[in-house]
A and B are shown apart, each in its own frame.
Chain A
Amino acid sequence: MSAPYPFTAIVAQQDMKLALLIAAVDPGVGGVLIMGDRGTGKSTAIRALAALLPKIPVVAHCPYNCDPERPPGGHCDACKKGADGPIKTTKMGIPVVDLPLGATEDRVIGALDIERALHAGEKAFEPGLLARAHRGFLYIDEVNLLEDHIVDALLDVAASGENVVEREGLSVRHQAKFVLVGSGNPEEGELRPQLLDRFGLSVDVATPQDIKSRVEIVRLRDSYEQDRDGFAKRWRRKESAQRRLIEQARERVESIVTPDGVLEFAAGLCLKLGTDGLRGELTLLRAGRALAALEKQDVLTISHVRSVAPMVLRHRLRRDPLDESGSESRIERALESMDAA
C-alpha cells in the first residue's frame, strides 16, 4: 500500500475540511454530506482524514472491531466467548469503508455465511460492511444515486449505532457506530428530502476559481504521484501537528462549558429559520463545541455557533425547491437579524 494523500496537503476546501474535522472530534454530530462538483477531492479528503487519525486498539481478529477497553457486556458474541482468557489486542488504522454503488443488502448489513452453512451445516452470521465500518467512516460516493432501500437501512443504523439483523433465520445484533459520509453531485439528481436532515453537517464544495489555487492543486498532485512516500514524508510534520490537534480536541470537547446565552442564541436562530425538531439545535451546539475544542478554547461562544451555523442548518431548512436565493443566504440573513435584535 502506498501512502495516501496527506489531509493537510488538500488545497482550499476549508468548509469540507472543517466539517470532517468536527466529525472526527465528535462523531456524535452525525454524518457529513458533501455535495458539489466532480473531482474536487471529496473522497481524497475522507481517506486522508482516516489516515491522519490515531490508530485505535481493537480486539485481535474481531470482525466487529471491538474495543478492548469496553466492559465485556459491550462486546460482540465472538469476543465474549473468548473473554475467559486474556483478550488479545492489536492496533488498527481508522477503518474507511467504501460502499460501492452496486453493493447488495446482504453485503451491507450482513447475511448467512454460505461457506460455513454449506460445509459444516451451521448457521453462522457473516458480518457486512456495517460491521467493518464500526468505529470508523462509512463513505458513500454518489449517495443520491444509491437505492432507497439501502439508504434507509444505513440511516437507521447510523442513527441508532446498532445493526439488527433478522433474516434467513438469523437473529443478530451488533454495534455499528460510524460516521456516515455521503457525497454527490446535485446536477445528477437530488437526495430525497426526507434523508437530508439525517446528516449532521452538510457542505457544498466547488473548485477554486483563482489561478494560484488551481496551479497548487496540480503541482501538489503531480509531486505526490511521482513519489508518494517521499511526498508523505515531506508533509509528515504538518500531519502530526494536525493529529495532535484532533487528539487534544477530543479530550477537551467533553468539558467545554456552554453558557446560557449561547443556548438561547442557538434556540433563537433555529426558531427564526423555522427548522423542524430539536436535532438542528443539538447539532448546532455539538458542532460548536467541537469547533471550540479545535480552537483550544474552554467555553462555547456565539461566534463558534455562527461559524458552524451554515453547515449545520442549510440542509434542514424547509425547502422551497425554486427559491433562487438558497439556504445559505437565508441563514446569513437570520444571523444578521439576530445581531440587530
Chain B
Amino acid sequence: MSTVLGPAQWTAAEAAVTAFSVAPHALGGIWLRSPPGPVRTLFLERVDEQRPDLNRRKLPLHIQENRLLGGIDLTRTLASGAVHWEQGLLAQSDRGIITLAMAERASRQIVAHLCSALDTGVLKVAREGLNQTVPAAFGVVAMDEGIETERPEQALTERLALRVDLTDVSIHDAIACEIEGNSIAHARKNWQQVTLPPALLEALVATTIALGINSPRALILASRLTKILAALELRDTAEEDHLNRAITLSLVHRATRLPEAPPEASTEEQPEPPEQPPDPGDTEASAEPELTPPIDAIIEAAVASIPAGLLASLKQSSASRGRSTAGGKSGARQRHKQRGRPIGSQPGDPRRGDRLNLMATLRAAAPWQGLRRRERNASPAQGLLVKPSDFRVTRFRYQRESTTIFVVDASGSAAMHRMAEAKGAVELLLADCYSRRDNVALIAFRGEQAELLLPPTRSLVRAKKALAALPGGGGTPLAHALEMTTLLAEQAHRDGATPTAVFLTDGVANIALDGTPGRQLAKEEALRIARQFAAMGYRALVIDASPRAQPRAQELAGALGGDYLLMPRADASLLRDIVSPAGAVS
C-alpha cells in the first residue's frame, strides 16, 4: 500500500513546498505530519532550496517567553545599569520561516503567540515594561509526530493552509523534483493579481459547505492557494485544475462530514495522485477551461482525495472524531517547582535551585542604588549594585489538575441492560467535573475495539456531543478498552494531571485484544491489563451496569484496585463522593 501511496504523497509534498515558498506568510504554513527521519529532513531541505533567501529558525518547545517575544537583555542591563531589550525569536523571524518540531506538545502560550503573529503579521509586545509593535510576518512549518490521540492545537493548524503527510513515504520515493526557480519568482510577484473567476469561487465555497468546513479562514487560505498555484504556472486566471489541487492540499483534511449524497464508487478507490508538479510547458497545452466548472465534479474530486482513514471516520458520521481535535493538552502543565505557572515573586536565593525573577530583583535593587553608590563611592557607570538580599525568585503554582477518563461499555450486553442509564450517570459525573474544572476524556468500547471518543478536554460541549452520538451493540472488547485507558492515564500523568478512570460496564469481556471472540482469553487479558493499571497507582471506579451485582464486575474492580458500585445505587451524590477525593489529591 505504501508503495502506491508514497510517491503520490511525496508529489503532494513537493507541491506544498513550492506553493509555500511563494508566500510563506500569506499561506500561514505547512502542517507536516511525519516522524523524524531522512524523509522529513529532505522535506525541510526542499523548503530551504526553494527559498534560500529565507531565514529558517527552529522554535524549541522549551523556549521561554522572553526569548520568544523579546525581553530584557540581562548582560547588557546589568553591565550598564540601564534597561536593554533584545528581540525575541518571533520578531527575528520576520519574513522568514519558523519550524516547530513536536508541535503537538507545544504549549498553549507558544501557540497563541504564533497564531496572533500569523493573523496580523506583527508582534505586539506588552511585558516587562516594554510596549511596542514589531513586524513578524513569517510562515510556520509545524511538525507533528504524535500518535493518533495527539494533535497540534487546532488554533494553529487552522491557520496553516497546507497539510502534508509523510508518514508512509519511504526515502526511495522522496526524489526531489526540479522546479524552475523563475516560476517561483514570477509567482511571488504576481500571485495576488491572479483572478479567481466567480464560478470557481462559488465551487470552492460549495465544497467547504459540503465538507462541513466552517471556518472562513480555511476558505480564504484555500482561495489564496488557488491563485498561487495558478501563478506558478504563469497564468493570470485560476482554473479548475488549480482549484482541485488547492482543495486537496488545504481543505480535504479539514472535512468534518461527507456531502449529502457521497459518490459510493469513489470510496473504494485509492486517493487520486493529487497533482502533477507544476510544469508550465505541459499544462499550457492541455488546459482548456470550461466556462462553468461543474460544482458537483469539484466536490466529487475533493471527496475522492480524502485520505482513506479520514474517510472511514467520517463515514461513521461522528463529528467528534473527524475534527482535528486539539489533542493532548500539551506540555504547559505544572510539572515541578521550576516549570509551573509563575504567580508572583518572593525574596529567595536562586542558588537553592529556585528560579531568579530578574525584573523583581531589579525592582528590589532599584530604590537603593543612590544610597549604595554613595556608600561605596561608586559612579553610575560602574553599573547596578545588587546585593543578595535583593534576589527575588519566582513562585510557581504547583497544582495538579485532574483528568477523569470515562470508559463506557457500549456493547450489546451492556446496552441491553441500561445504556441510557449509563449515559445518564456519566452526564451527572460530567456536570460535576465541569464545576470542578476537571479535564474529561471519553473512551467507548463495542464491537472489536475501543475508541477514544474524546481526548482530555475541559469542554463540556464536546464531551456531551461525543456521548450523545455514542451508538450501542456488538461484542465487549474490555481488554482493549483497558489498554487504551492505561495509555491515556499515563499520558495525562505525563502532562501533569492526576488521572482517574471511571468504568461503566457489566464486566463481561468476550473479545480478546486481537479482536477475536472468546470469553476465556478475553477475560484473562482484561484482568491482566487491569492489574497493570492498578500497579501504576491510578484511581479507578467500576460502576456495574448490570441489574444485579455481577461477580465479574466485582472481579474487575478488584483487579483494578478500585471501588465498585452497582448502578441502581449510584446516585449523583454518591458518585460525586467517590470521584471527588481523587480530584482533590494534589
A264 contacts partner chain B, Cβ-Cβ < 8 Å: no
B326 contacts partner chain A, Cβ-Cβ < 8 Å: yes
CA distance A321 to B367 in the complex (A): 51
**Cβ contacts under 8 Å, B205 to chain A:** 211, 214-215, 218
**A119, A221, A321, most chain B CB atoms within 10 A:** A321
**Cβ contacts under 8 Å, A169 to chain B:** 367
CA distance A37 to B155 in the complex (A): 11
Partner of A114, one of B206, B362, B370: B362
Minimal beta-carbon separation of B255 from chain A (angstroms): 15
B275 contacts partner chain A, Cβ-Cβ < 8 Å: no
Contact A39-B218, Cβ < 8 Å, known A106-B129, A118-B384: yes
Partner of A102, one of B83, B127, B217, B460: B127
Minimal beta-carbon separation of B455 from chain A (angstroms): 12
CA distance A218 to B363 in the complex (A): 50
Contact (Cβ within 8 A) A207 B113: no
A80 contacts partner chain B, Cβ-Cβ < 8 Å: no
**Cβ contacts under 8 Å, A218 to chain B:** 201, 204-205, 216, 219-220, 223
B209 contacts partner chain A, Cβ-Cβ < 8 Å: yes
Partner of B363, one of A40, A114, A119, A142: A114
B188 contacts partner chain A, Cβ-Cβ < 8 Å: no
Quick one: which of A206-220 are within 8 Å of B by CB?
Answer: 206-207, 209, 211, 214-215, 217-219
CA distance A171 to B65 in the complex (A): 29
Minimal beta-carbon separation of A4 from chain B (angstroms): 11
B4 contacts partner chain A, Cβ-Cβ < 8 Å: no
A225 contacts partner chain B, Cβ-Cβ < 8 Å: yes
Contact (Cβ within 8 A) A126 B457: no
**Cβ contacts under 8 Å, B223 to chain A:** 218, 222
Contact A219-B384, Cβ < 8 Å, known A102-B127, A107-B127, A188-B459: no
Contact (Cβ within 8 A) B216 A217: yes
The number of inter-chain residue pairs (CB within 8 angstroms) is 162
B550 contacts partner chain A, Cβ-Cβ < 8 Å: no
B427 contacts partner chain A, Cβ-Cβ < 8 Å: yes
Minimal beta-carbon separation of B91 from chain A (angstroms): 14
Q: Which residue of A lies closest to B113 (CB)?
A: A102
CA distance A211 to B127 in the complex (A): 43
Contact (Cβ within 8 A) A225 B192: yes
**Cβ contacts under 8 Å, B384 to chain A:** 118
Contact (Cβ within 8 A) A39 B82: no
Contact (Cβ within 8 A) B427 A322: yes
B462-497: CB near A (< 8 Å → 1, else 0) gives 101000000000000000000000000000000000
CA distance A203 to B434 in the complex (A): 22
A34 contacts partner chain B, Cβ-Cβ < 8 Å: no
Minimal beta-carbon separation of B432 from chain A (angstroms): 10
CA distance A144 to B83 in the complex (A): 34
**Cβ contacts under 8 Å, A149 to chain B:** 343
Quick one: which of A185-233 are within 8 Å of B by CB?
Answer: 185-190, 192, 206-207, 209, 211, 214-215, 217-219, 221-222, 225-226
A147 contacts partner chain B, Cβ-Cβ < 8 Å: yes
CA distance A107 to B217 in the complex (A): 31
Where chain B touches its partner, the secondary structure class is: helix
CA distance A324 to B109 in the complex (A): 32
B296 contacts partner chain A, Cβ-Cβ < 8 Å: no
Contact (Cβ within 8 A) B216 A43: no
CA distance A98 to B209 in the complex (A): 32
Contact (Cβ within 8 A) B359 A100: no
Partner of A214, one of B209, B434, B461: B209
Q: Which residue of A lies closest to B66 (CB)?
A: A102
Contact (Cβ within 8 A) A187 B112: no
CA distance A123 to B370 in the complex (A): 12
Contact (Cβ within 8 A) B220 A142: no
**Cβ contacts under 8 Å, A113 to chain B:** 129
Contact A118-B81, Cβ < 8 Å, known A39-B216, A141-B116, A219-B201: yes
CA distance A115 to B461 in the complex (A): 48
Minimal beta-carbon separation of A316 from chain B (angstroms): 18
B158 contacts partner chain A, Cβ-Cβ < 8 Å: yes
Quick one: which of A99-139 are within 8 Å of B by CB?
Answer: 99-104, 106-107, 111-115, 117-119, 121, 123, 126, 129
Contact (Cβ within 8 A) A211 B209: yes
Partner of A104, one of B116, B128, B196: B128
CA distance A40 to B206 in the complex (A): 18
B103-125: CB near A (< 8 Å → 1, else 0) gives 00000110011001001000011
**Cβ contacts under 8 Å, B208 to chain A:** 214
Minimal beta-carbon separation of A165 from chain B (angstroms): 14
Q: Which residue of B lies closest to A11 (CB)?
A: B216
**B65, B69, B205, B434, most chain A CB atoms within 10 A:** B205
**Cβ contacts under 8 Å, B217 to chain A:** 38-39
Q: Which residue of B lies closest to A216 (CB)?
A: B205
**Cβ contacts under 8 Å, B126 to chain A:** 98-100, 103, 107, 129
A268 contacts partner chain B, Cβ-Cβ < 8 Å: no
B523-540: CB near A (< 8 Å → 1, else 0) gives 000000000000000000
Partner of B119, one of A43, A102, A119, A321: A43
Minimal beta-carbon separation of A40 from chain B (angstroms): 7
Quick one: which of A63-119 are within 8 Å of B by CB?
Answer: 98-104, 106-107, 111-115, 117-119
Minimal beta-carbon separation of B253 from chain A (angstroms): 16
CA distance A129 to B108 in the complex (A): 22
Q: Which residue of B lies closest to A39 (CB)?
A: B217
CA distance A242 to B437 in the complex (A): 42
Q: Which residue of A lies closest to B384 (CB)?
A: A118
CA distance A206 to B216 in the complex (A): 10
CA distance A209 to B211 in the complex (A): 12
Partner of A189, one of B193, B209, B458: B458
CA distance A301 to B81 in the complex (A): 64
Q: Which residue of B lies closest to A149 (CB)?
A: B343
A305-334: CB near B (< 8 Å → 1, else 0) gives 000000000000000111010000000000
Minimal beta-carbon separation of A276 from chain B (angstroms): 17
Contact (Cβ within 8 A) A101 B431: no
Quick one: which of A29-74 are within 8 Å of B by CB?
Answer: 37-41, 43
B430 contacts partner chain A, Cβ-Cβ < 8 Å: yes
**Cβ contacts under 8 Å, B65 to chain A:** 102
Quick one: which of B187-219 are within 8 Å of A by CB?
Answer: 192-193, 196, 198, 201-202, 204-206, 208-209, 214-219
23 contacts between A and B (CB under 8 A): A37-B214, A38-B158, A38-B217, A39-B216, A98-B126, A101-B113, A102-B112, A107-B126, A107-B127, A114-B83, A114-B359, A115-B82, A118-B362, A121-B369, A187-B461, A188-B326, A211-B209, A214-B205, A222-B220, A226-B192, A321-B434, A321-B460, A324-B464
Besides the contacts A38-B217, A104-B128, A322-B427, what 12 more A-B pairs have beta carbons closer than 8 Å? A37-B214, A38-B158, A40-B215, A100-B112, A100-B124, A107-B128, A118-B81, A118-B369, A121-B367, A123-B367, A189-B458, A218-B201
